[in-house]
Structure 1
């Protein structure tokens, strides 16, 4: 696993090193160019001076220096050579200058009246020369003036600049590496402190991270982690309640079954009595089966393991059939459907939508008294489908409405058994979310409870 501290240090050091290297290269090339231009300017000035001297028929202005090469280069560093039109040396300022090689191209340009430059190798050195035409008033045979200078001082200076720049880059790189390590250490330290504090958080315990929570750069990270821990704490609490409620709902029918069977085994009974016991046990088994199936369906929905088979379905027909089945199932309540008179389709999973609506109706049946009116409504637009289930029952307190879709939630504190598993509305909410919709509870205009199921209609509608 890569170390963020090491990665930051290396990348920062390489970035600064690259920048220093580019700056050093730019400075080196710039210095060399400036020195080259300075040498050319000096040669041009010397040529101008010598041109004036020749025009006045005076002796060569740049006096000869020592005859040995090294002394001449370091003390005088100027060669003056006067040539005739054939290129022969007519006059020099030192005996060594007579041996300076002639650049024919530059010489011919000077003969034609132009100023020309040339660089040549001579005695293991590079010599820079300027060729200018001699003035017409000069002595006969003085046709071209050549002023030359060794480039050794220039190269020595540029070499020193190069070494200085490389040394600066090296020292800068070392200093940068040290500084980058310190900077990375101080930058990562808060993250390490936050991580250490986060590791002390116990699952299910509502604790908050306080390290660097007041630092602008880390306040967002701390807030996100604290929010995640709070949501985890709520999830653990919900899981704990769900397990406790599931255990309660499973234990209740099992206890009833055990009691009935123990009573039946205490003595000899008639076949009718045994039949009644078995019928009661069968009802409890059906209750256990309903709990098991509800838990399985809810788990698959919440885990996203249940594929949504969307197809164009006639929602009006689906709700009418659901209403008729509910009326046939329970004659003590009045069920009705209010919606469009003609077919209206939407892209939904008909099977899951039927389960969701059935759960809403089942909730009305189990939690309202006989004689209650239950009305299914449908409002369908180009964008969404809104299914409502209203009842004229006693309704629910306002403070309980946000909790109706929680696992095993019942408003009665004593948890009086009504045959309800406590997962119907939770399953309906999960089906709504699986369709990309939502569900909400509110007071009904009929006086009881209203459950509104909102689903996107889909792109293909009729």
Structure 2
């Protein structure tokens, strides 16, 4: 029905929006994030390794060059000093060593003729001067420590070095003690230039890492688009297939996994279309068979009905012309003929619903008068209580409303307990529907039967396959409610008995208007159910 189809369309549109949101913010984002993380990890690892290798190479090269110059200058100048030199002599030698080296400061320490320790630096600048306090204690200890002479160590003293940071400036500090007596010499070289080169290298590697991350994001976006486009087409095709467009197919190109998936989808869609076509053909053939059979049965049934009516009149006549021995058989024939006639009429009505040819013929009706007429026509006035105010008008199909009421009330009288109460309620201001409740005072409907009360030909007990009803009454009532845009629900009252609630719109004219626009579908568009408690 229109309400159900509108709900499906709304749900489908919402699902499409949600899936699109998920597709563009989840899978695509995850691909970009994964690509970015992989690229970032690779770039950071490569940059870190490159920085570490270059740092070691730059520092080792500068360090080796400075220490080699210091050792060379030490051998060239300190060896010419006289024993126990004065401070001035030490200062002159230190300056010569510093001038010959690669921009490093020199500090010389020795004893003068009086046995006092004297020291001299290559610079006397108070800010940039090089003194003994600038030499780490651990380095002084290592320089002054005499090593044991072994086959692997032929000299008691060696050149030692250490990297230190003074303020923000890195320095290389080295020292050595003259073998055979003489001054102890220390050198200090600024590594600031090398640090600047390494900082420039770090910035370059950082920029390269950022550019690689941006490039990987762009590459991930392109790759995600390439990968997701077939997936998106598959999703659209699946939704179209779910909407009933069974001729939907995907264009297959390539030989990769996505192409195989597209081929599999096409095969599945083709198989589904074939099966649905076969089922539709069989269903159409079944509907035609039931319709043709019902029409064929009507002609002999008309004649049989006429004969049974004559026989019934003879039974009711006062002359008593019917033999009492065959009277029960005659009454059985009359009863079964009526039942068969009702079954044929119900089958013809069901085929009209299934074929979608059932139509509404609307008229303004007073609901209370309509219910009263239904009860009076079937002589149910003594068994039915009516709670309905006159003047509640609705634009409905009177004949179909009568069918609904007759089936609900008849079902309550047959399977429930008297009295049967019919009440009418109007919806609130925001609800334009009418609610008609039919309640009996019987034992109620078993919980396992409730989901099936509207199934066609459903019997509540397998041991009672045959009953007076056709098993189509409640199903037809439900279809007539659906064609109005309404519904019927079944439940058990807490006070006892079963309650059937019929919800109908006050005006069914918009349904006919939409039907004329091709939006209203009628008949067996929803699951239908049969009577029986």
Decide which structure has the larger Cα Rg and report it.
Answer: 2
TM-score, length basis structure 2: 0.43
